[in-house]
Structure 1
Amino acid sequence: MEKAIDEILLSGTILLGEDFEPFEGYLSLRKGVVAEVGSEKIDSDLEGIICPALVNGHVHLGDSVLKDPPYLPLEELVGPGGLKHRILERASRRDQVEGMKRSLSYMARSGTCAFADFREGGIEGVDMLLEAMEGSGMIGRIFGRPDPGSVRVHQRCWGVGISSTRDHPRSLVEEMVEKARSEGKRVALHAGEAGRGDIEDALSLSPDLLVHLTRAEERDLKMVAEAGVPVVVCPRSNLVTGVGLPDVRRMLQMGMVVGLGTDNVMLNSPDLFSEMEFLSKALLHNDRQVFMICTLNGARILGADDEAGAISPGKRCRIMVIDRRSDKMWGVRDPLASVVRRAAPSDVLAVY
């Protein structure tokens, strides 16, 4: 096969299509588009396990200035006036931007191509994240929060990101949601994290996305499923804060679109390989479903499935290549299971 100009040739095991069926062969990538997939032997630019890049459905990158805080109850850690907010108030703008840059760099190098950030700090907070994102090449969806006394988020936000409805006067939350809707923005809320009492309130606002649902009961999950609202779960974060673990298996049985997030950088690194391993081993025991949650589902939730989420001929796609000959991956028999349960950021050879 003759290589064209501006073409990248990859060979090995391709996790192909929306079912991620392993396919032995090669892939031609031209200007970000999967131009060709074939089974013949070729001289390639890189060989390995060729996968869709990962999507982090919920992260707080602004927390990158604070690492490994003491174990505290959720409210004391991240609630209004909690440790996180006190640290951020004292942190310099320079340090906050630098922390976000470093987290973004880590995410990009470790195979994450897209993320949704719940950004505090009002207009200035979003400006800091936009500065940190310059040149990252990542797909970023920012859910911002208004400045005090305002209900409008930054014009470049994809949506408004609201903590629990219990943290704000109901009238203020309704105004924020109404303003976001009038500007064509999405609405996302934390719900059911510390308790189930805010789930019905959150649903009454017709959100585009809910995060956590760790304390949701069967009746709550049924309401969410019937409303057709996607959910992003963050199990490692929930484990650290002691709020329980989401019933992801039941969510999927009910037909929900579920994504995966790493949540606060201060609690866990934005490492989706660790998140996938935990989700698979502790909650699902279904590697294909876990990989779908972390790729295709995440891309759909963020409106980015036209350029991420699955590898298909003719589609623009973000791709990562995993080294199956590394000390950690040597001896792989099931490429999909090994990517989900065993691979680490150090095994990522390249991201295209």
Structure 2
Amino acid sequence: MSAQINAAETLLSVSTAPYIKSEDTVSKIMWKVNLALAPAAIFGVIYFGVPALINIVVSIIAAVAAEYAVQKIRKVRITAFDGSAFLTGLLLAMCISPEMPPYMTAIGSVIAIVIAKHSMGGLGQNIFNPAHIGRAALMVSWPIAMTTWSVIKTPVDAVTSATPLGILKLQGYSELLETFGGQTELYKALFLGMRNGSIGETCTVLLILGGLFLVWKKIINWQIPVVMIATVGILTWIFGPEGFFTGDPVFHMMAGGLIIGAFFMATDMVTAPITKRGQIIFAIGAGMITSLIRLKGGYPEGVCYSILLMNCVTPLIDLVIKPRIYGTGR
């Protein structure tokens, strides 16, 4: 009898909740997201050259160093090498111009880590996406540097230093098609990444593959990226430049930072709502704000600000949209 009790004690362990265990850790999740971003980042380096590589390296080093320094000063456990700071630096670098002076990139990374992340308590307690806070700070501080693009050649050999969204905003849709040699060539350039833009936002196909990898690994849900991208497509089609239903939804869904923002920033598990219904509301709001800025604002792109504005609403969404308690009615 005593032997049976001892055997039962070794098999049964009573502890407090939660009881669900997972092999995933913060570090594993962060490095998987970094891996998903790697192909698009490598393409950006190949396409834009050494300046892009320098900015990516500087951004990552500055982010990791800033996190290490802050945690050392605060005398808390050092987690600077768990991949989260690396991810913030990589995301920031992928959302800026390859022509950005490296010292500005470093400042943006420090702002993202110190102000957006650790001033609020560190990982898991930040309200806003740190990389987008860093990008917004750089845009406010050095708008010319943030909108200075590489000089590239389009399929019709017309040298341009503007992004497709910039051409659309300043010159119109007809000039955009003429620059790229027609709608088919425009879509091809957007899909394959043969166009101007930030370091990591140009190659749509690689970003989508990276996002699908995260969905497959169950690191993110499909609702936010799909709904956000679809919202932008629908609204830009309905409220086109020449009246209702005259827009080009395919262009707007692939142009700018929508794909990288929808898959890798709006889905941030810290700053996005926790319920699926809440995530859908979040995504619709982000898509609506992005479309409003693109169609009616003076700035050609709106993904960064749309996600940051919806980050403000996330606590309210979580307060109103609560998951049903198991065993209870609706």
TM-score after normalising by structure 1:
0.23
Q: Which structure: larger Rg?
A: 2
TM-score after normalising by structure 2:
0.25
Bigger strand share? 1
